[in-house]
């Protein structure tokens, strides 16, 4: 205990009591109090009262600090007991539902990612949902992931799930287990070093230049304006389906012939059509659009205005290029279904929608466009992604370039 006498500028005398209560976590615990004598007190009275106040303050400080330490100890015991109880009672399903709710509230995950996680729930819960989170082992998780590759798991194809889909399931489990570690329910995440069953990847079927010309020509002659615009955007710009469906008129700069990708429009079973952010930060990009495409956009815009007048109050002004009968964003499944039926009817090859994106990339590389520019056009986050996907096209472009150099060197 230390006592300091202080006199203010106005001549008021006071006493500061300072008591040390020891050290905690390397820091000294100190309590202070200031006492000011009442007017009219004699020096002897003040001295006696200072002694009395200092003793009372020291006793009170020690008692309060001991009570504080007691409460902290009780809280630690409570937390320990709660954690131990949770370890012996919390199942994977219970914690996974809690984690998914947190993701919905926080908004940290993209809608697409959150919906993908939710789509993994049924099979995962059937396999490990009832297992205590503290008892979920590497072996149990590995057995489940391996089972996903067995024939019949994929109800649509009758085959097993792809390696990519297996990884989605593991990501879901691993994220929940990472949350369990934060909650101190487990010491280590058992999802490390899980092995996936490799599946045969389907070879990319890409429209040839002749096939693309024939298909677009047929679409231009026989398709409605909105479908005509949609497939030309894919074939001319190489954008993803969701990126094209997410386009709004405010994204088009008609004077500069620039189109900007700011959002995607997607569909999920049980959730319906929803808007999300582009796939990666690099997917936010601007693309040059041909005058032909601008004219198509104007044509679709004019038709929408006429349709809006007919619908009246039923019309939803979404500003989207691609809408349904009442102006709401178009169902993302329609372009695939429509094109497949159209190709069957007209007798032209159908290679899906993503094949247009592959077509743009391979044709650009074949014409000598550098990989970095192609990567930026496609919205890839890294040039290595473009190199991996279009390795064959890159090799052909390199051969073409080197043969041109060789021909110049060999010219007499």
Q: Domain residue spans in the chain? A: 2-82, 92-182, 209-400
Q: What pLDDT score was predicted for residue 185?
A: 92
For 92-182, CATH number out of 3.30.2350.10, 1.10.150.130, 1.10.3720.10, 1.10.10.60 equals 1.10.150.130
Average pLDDT, rounded, for the chain: 90
Residue 125 CA to residue 91 CA, distance in Å, equals: 10
- pLDDT tens figures, 332-364: 999 999 999 999 999 999 999 999 999 999 888
> Do 92-182 and 209-400 fold alike per CATH?
no
Residue 397 CA to residue 367 CA, distance in Å, equals: 7
Which of 169, 163, 111, 171 has its CA nearest to residue 144? 169
Q: What pLDDT score was predicted for residue 91?
A: 95
SS3 string, 176-243, reads HHHHHHHCCCCCCCCCCCCCCCCCCCCCCCCCCHHHHHHHHHHHHHHCCHHHHHHHHHHHHHCCCHHH
For the cut 60, the answer to whether the pLDDT of residue 3 exceeds it is: yes
For the cut 60, the answer to whether the pLDDT of residue 412 exceeds it is: no
Out of 227-241, 259-273, 293-307, pick the least confident.
Answer: 259-273
Which of 353, 386, 371, 379 has its CA nearest to residue 279? 379
Q: What pLDDT score was predicted for residue 77?
A: 66
Integer CA distances (angstroms), 304 to 118, 138, 226, 248, 390, in order: 36, 56, 9, 13, 38
- pLDDT tens figures, 45-96: 999 999 999 999 999 999 998 888 888 877 776 666 677 778 888 999 999 9
Q: Under CATH, which number does the domain 209-400 receive?
A: 1.10.443.10
Count the helix, strand and coil residues of the chain and give each as a percent rounded to the nearest 5: 55, 15, 30
Q: What pLDDT score was predicted for residue 405?
A: 67
181's tokens? 């570690």
């Amino acid at each position: 205990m230390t006592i300091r006498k202080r006199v203010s500028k106005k001549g008021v005398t006071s006493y500061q009591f300072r008591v040390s209560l020891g050290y905690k976590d390397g820091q000294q615990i100190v309590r202070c109090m200031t006492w000011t004598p009442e007017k009219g007190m004699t020096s002897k009275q003040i001295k006696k009262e200072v002694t009395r106040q200092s003793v009372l303050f020291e006793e009170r400080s020690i008692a309060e600090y001991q009570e504080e330490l007691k409460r902290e100890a009780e809280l630690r015991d409570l937390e320990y007991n709660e954690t131990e109880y949770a370890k012996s009672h919390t199942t994977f399903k219970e914690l996974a539902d809690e984690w998914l709710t947190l993701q919905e509230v926080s908004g940290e995950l993209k809608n697409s990612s959150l919906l993908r996680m939710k789509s993994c729930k049924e099979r995962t819960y059937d396999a490990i949902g009832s297992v205590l989170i503290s008892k979920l082992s590497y072996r149990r998780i590995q057995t489940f992931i391996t089972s996903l590759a067995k024939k019949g798991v994929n109800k649509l194809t009758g085959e097993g799930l792809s390696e990519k889909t297996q990884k989605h399931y593991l990501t879901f489990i691993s994220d929940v287990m990472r949350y369990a570690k934060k909650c101190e329910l487990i010491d280590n995440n058992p999802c490390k070093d899980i092995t996936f069953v490799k599946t045969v990847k389907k070879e990319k079927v890409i429209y040839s230049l002749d096939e693309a010309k024939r298909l677009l020509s047929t679409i231009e002659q026989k398709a409605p304006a909105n479908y005509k615009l949609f497939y030309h955007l894919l074939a001319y710009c190489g954008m993803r389906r969701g990126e094209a469906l997410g386009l709004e008129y405010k994204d088009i700069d008609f004077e500069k012939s620039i189109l900007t990708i700011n959002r995607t429009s997607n569909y999920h079973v049980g959730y319906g059509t929803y808007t999300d952010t582009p796939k990666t930060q690099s997917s936010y990009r601007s693309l040059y659009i041909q005058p032909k495409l601008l004219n198509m956009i104007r044509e679709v815009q004019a038709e929408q205005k006429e349709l809006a007048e007919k619908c009246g109050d039923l019309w939803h002004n979404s500003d989207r290029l691609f809408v349904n009968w009442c102006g709401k964003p178009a169902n993302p499944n329609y372009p695939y279904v429509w094109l497949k039926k159209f190709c069957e009817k007209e007798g032209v090859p159908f290679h899906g929608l993503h094949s247009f994106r592959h077509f743009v990339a391979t044709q650009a590389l074949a014409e000598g466009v550098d990989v970095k520019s192609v990567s930026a056009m496609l919205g890839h986050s890294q040039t290595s992604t473009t190199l991996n996907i279009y390795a064959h096209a890159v090799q052909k472009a390199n051969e073409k370039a080197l043969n041109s150099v060789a021909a110049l060197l060999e010219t007499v």
